[in-house]
Amino acid sequence: MHIDQDLSLADLREQMDTFWKYSGRKIRSIQDHYDESQGTPVFTAAGKYTTRGWTEWTQGFQYGSAILQYEATNDEHFLEYGRRGTVDRMASHVGHFGVHDHGFNNVSTYGNLLRLLKDGRLPQNQWERDFYEIALKLSGAVQARRWTPIHDGGGYLYSFNGPHSLFVDTIRTVRALVVSHELGHSLLGDNDVSVSLLDRAIQHGMATARYAIYYGEGRDSYDTWGRTAHESVFNTNDGRYRCPNAQQGFSGFTTWTRGLAWAMLGFAEQLEYLAQVDAQQLEAHGGFAEVEAIFLQAARATCDFYLEHTASDGIPYWDTGAPQLHRLGDYTTRPADPYNDFEPVDSSAAAIGCQGLMRLGRYLESRDPDSSRRYFQGGLTVLSTLLGEPYLSTDDGHQGLLLHSIYHRPNGWDYVPEGSKIPYGESSMWGDYHIREAVLYAGKLLAGNDYHFYDCVR
């Protein structure tokens, strides 16, 4: 992609202000018109949010978006909507043993609300604070229960596919364990054996970095720096790695770009967190320097891969090995075309990835200024593209905020407009939430502030 080295946060001020106006309208439209009885809204079809039964992993984005909208605009309507939805509907997600999505659902709701309480943005109420804290404590422990040990003494949080399955997505949901740990909680097993949630979070990150990310070291014939596998498959009898696989990507030997983006953001956030942790807590894993080296390599590799294999304006196609992508020629030399006849783009990957680029850039400011600027300006470039046409939805008749998001291309779940050969023009709950998160982050940096997922407990 082409990185705009002259772009500044101040240059995006007007676009960000306009963004929140459209964002509020979209949330109100869902609140007023979406039929909650059909299940959680997942993605749009012909501009209207609909559901898709698989797992209920997007409800936290629904109410979390309203909470972010309040934080950005001070409009208490959105606070009430997000707060009431969290209280009324999110308890089942706290106690959901069947998914790996706790960081998505619960940190985006209970966590954001607790952060606002600690920041003084909500009236101080001990009962409310206790309510959010107990939810976050339990959520981290419940997710940590989905554990598969591996042969080298580590382990990973397994996906909803079963104990053999490590998803790259989970590196961003592992923050649920971190928040629970910071609140003083642990996982209690048989005979009251206490398991450290921080240890499990770190071990999961190490397993993800080792098995889901490639570093050009010859692991297979397609091993290039930063290539990312959606799923890593293990033999649960002996805990040994078997092969890469994909559920939502084209194959285990290609890179599904939303999985790549989850890794970019997840590792960058974990680096920020670990830099604040008492070094003694990391000694069991070789100390801060060793853990940081592993996580930083993964963050750099995935961010580099994104910058190298993305269209010039920073928007990726849904998989870098998609079978018809070659028909677009060298797509990295020109802006992405969401209306082409061959393969769809995925703006939701861009929304997630741009925050990862910015956070990694900030993390490296003091030690590697050149790389820091490359990553941060890359993230700003992506964000600038997303805040304009054809990605920001300005049509009040469309309930989505970020257009051209893709859910599950292999399964054919995405809405294809009549006369088109590929899906385009639709939105997703995760895309809409993460573009809001990215704009909130950029806005805070512009105001001379910062924020992290762990601010709710520190």
- The residues, ordered by sequence, that sit 6+ positions from 275 with a Cβ below 8 Å of its Cβ are 288, 292, 363
Within a domain: 294: yes
pLDDT confidence tier of residue 142, bands split at 50, 70 and 90: very high
Structure tokens at 256: 């599904």
Q: CA 127 to CA 47: how far, in whole Å?
A: 40
Closest to 370 (Cα-Cα) out of 274, 300, 312, 314: 300
- The residues, ordered by sequence, that sit 6+ positions from 105 with a Cβ below 8 Å of its Cβ are 56, 57, 59, 60, 61, 90, 93, 96, 139
Q: How many domains does the chain have?
A: 1
Alpha helices in 275-346 (DSSP H): 288-308
Within a domain: 301: yes
pLDDT at residue 161 is higher than 90: yes
pLDDT confidence tier of residue 54, bands split at 50, 70 and 90: confident
Residue pair 247/161 in contact by the 8 Å Cβ criterion: yes
Within a domain: 280: yes
Within a domain: 2: no
pLDDT score recorded for residue 386: 98
Within a domain: 371: yes
- The residues, ordered by sequence, that sit 6+ positions from 308 with a Cβ below 8 Å of its Cβ are 226, 332
Domain that holds residue 421: 9-456
pLDDT score recorded for residue 53: 72
Residues 255-268: what's their mean pLDDT?
A: 98
User: pTM score, two decimals?
Assistant: 0.98
Pairing of strands 231-235, 240-245: antiparallel
The separation between CA 348 and the C-alpha centre of its own chain, rounded to angstroms, equals 9
Residues 341-358: what's their mean pLDDT?
A: 98
pLDDT confidence tier of residue 52, bands split at 50, 70 and 90: confident
Q: CA 138 to CA 143: how far, in whole Å?
A: 9
pLDDT at residue 218 is higher than 90: yes
Q: CA 273 to CA 47: how far, in whole Å?
A: 38
Backbone angles phi and psi of 224, in degrees to 5: -130, 155
pLDDT score recorded for residue 458: 87
Within a domain: 165: yes
Alpha helices in 100-167 (DSSP H): 102-105, 112-118, 126-144
pLDDT score recorded for residue 229: 98
Residues 435-439: what's their mean pLDDT?
A: 98
Within a domain: 228: yes
> Where residue 27 sits, what CATH number does that domain have?
1.50.10.10
Residue pair 116/67 in contact by the 8 Å Cβ criterion: yes
pLDDT score recorded for residue 176: 98
pLDDT at residue 55 is higher than 80: no
pLDDT confidence tier of residue 168, bands split at 50, 70 and 90: very high
* 390 cis-preceded (ω within 30 degrees of 0): yes
pLDDT at residue 107 is higher than 80: yes
Within a domain: 300: yes
Q: CA 335 to CA 381: how far, in whole Å?
A: 12
Structure tokens at 259: 């999985």
List, for residues 381-422, the tens digit of each pLDDT value.
Answer: 999 999 999 999 999 999 999 999 999 999 999 999 999 999
Residues 277-281: what's their mean pLDDT?
A: 95
Residues 268-288: what's their mean pLDDT?
A: 96
Backbone angles phi and psi of 256, in degrees to 5: -70, 120
pLDDT confidence tier of residue 56, bands split at 50, 70 and 90: confident
Q: Which residues of 227-238 are buried (b: 16+ CB within 10 A; e: fewer)?
A: bbbbbbbbeeee
Residues 425-437: what's their mean pLDDT?
A: 98
pLDDT confidence tier of residue 225, bands split at 50, 70 and 90: very high
Structure tokens at 302: 């995935």
Q: CA 51 to CA 42: how far, in whole Å?
A: 5
